[in-house]
Amino acid sequence: MKTKILVTREVFDETLEYMAQYCEVESNQADVPLDADTLARRLQGCGGVVCNLTDCIDEPLLVRCPQLRVAANIAVGFNNIDLAACTARGVMATNTPEVLTDTTADLAFALMLATARRLTEAEAYIRNGQWRGWHLKQLLGVDVHHATLGIIGMGRIGRTIAKRALGFEMRVLYHDPIRQPADVERQLNATYVTKDELLAQADFVILQMPYAPETHHLIGAAELKKMKPSAILINSTRGGIVDDAALVQALRDGTIRAAGLDAFEGEPKINPGFLGMKNVVLAPHIGSSTEATRRAMAMTAAKNAVAALTGSKPPNLLNKLSVRA
Ligand code: DGY
């Protein structure tokens, strides 16, 4: 008999077709996020779950779903999964690294360009019928080329952003708990600095680290004050890394110039302070959202789940567990 697997949210036809070769697939193609009770109920009898960042895979859920053997997240971030609880209960947890690196780096860059050049404000200006013709001081922005970029979090995506910055001839500073090897620093023309040095010198600060208790409010009122009044903050990683209330205040007070945001504390709720501000570019967590990348993410998660349920080691296993066939 095939093992049952639940897909918690809408995926692509080919994702379901692939899994159906190996498993009995149940899926929530209605695409309404499942609350904790419904998720636990629908997981009864399932050996696997293909989930995403709107699903909370925690200890209480695992207690209620003792047959679960794998939680395959359709995301590189996995702060929705309690990894320690999974490990303690012998549940494999997997993510989807690599396939979204370039796409996510592109979005970070897009936010930086859009915020620097006031693109959403400019578009609204046209759509609102305000444009009366060219003039010299119209919607003056700031240059991205030759500016100083500070990247906090120099993992795969951070390094890919640095690569793009080479083309814009930017000066790149970075900070991360782990310093990159000298040859990587050379290739990326990136200089390792302390967080405070980075905040003080960067024209653009891009955050690119996972959310964890240690990164909660990594950027708050004190850090925003250390940035230049002309600086722009880009958060395209996870909500909670920035103290959004402090950011709203800093944008109001002119502590920094502007922000480009694709991740919010408590999303999809959003601090209402952002909504009326012209110096903020907002996106609804679409960092990895291109057709090709979202298809690749879903298929990567499906392959991880199938591997786990057919006795192989999932390619993107996050916890150190021996595989139960
Ligand atoms: C990720 O992969 O962590 C993204 O945020 C999901 O789009």
Q: Rounded to 10 degrees, what is the CA torsion of 34, 36, 40, 43?
A: 30
| pLDDT in the model for residue 30 | 83
Q: Which alpha helices (H) appear in 21-138, and where do they start and end?
A: 36-42, 59-64, 83-88, 101-116, 119-127
Q: Is the CB of 287 under 6 A from ligand 1?
A: yes
Q: Is the CB of 104 under 6 A from ligand 1?
A: no
CA pair distance 309, 18, nearest whole angstrom: 13
3-class DSSP state of 126 = helix
Q: Is the CB of 77 under 6 A from ligand 1?
A: yes
Query: Closest ligand 1 atom, CA of 289?
Result: 7
Q: What pTM, to 2 d.p., does this model score?
A: 0.95
* Cross-strand bridge partners of residue 205: 150, 233
Going along the chain from its start, the domains and CATH numbers come out as 3-99+291-309 (3.40.50.720), 101-282 (3.40.50.720)
Q: Is the CB of 231 under 6 A from ligand 1?
A: no
pLDDT in tens, the chain (325 residues): 899 999 999 999 999 999 999 999 999 978 899 999 999 999 999 999 999 999 999 999 999 999 999 999 999 999 999 999 999 999 999 999 999 999 999 999 999 999 999 999 999 999 999 999 999 999 999 999 999 999 999 999 999 999 999 999 999 999 999 999 999 999 999 999 999 999 999 999 999 999 999 999 999 999 999 999 999 999 999 999 999 999 999 999 999 999 999 999 999 999 999 999 999 999 999 999 999 999 999 999 999 999 999 999 999 999 987 554 4
- Is 89 catalytic? The answer is no
- Is 146 catalytic? The answer is no
Q: What are the structure tokens assigned to 151, written together?
A: 């990247």
Query: Closest ligand 1 atom, CA of 100?
Result: 2
Query: Closest ligand 1 atom, CA of 263?
Result: 5
Q: Is the CB of 239 under 6 A from ligand 1?
A: no
Protein residue closest via CA to atom 1 of ligand 1: 75
Query: Closest ligand 1 atom, CA of 75?
Result: 2
Q: Which of 238, 257, 265, 294 is catalytic?
A: 238
Q: Is the CB of 75 under 6 A from ligand 1?
A: yes
- Is 171 catalytic? The answer is no
- List Cα–Cα distances, 11 to 22, 24, 207, 286, 305, in angstroms: 17, 16, 28, 16, 14
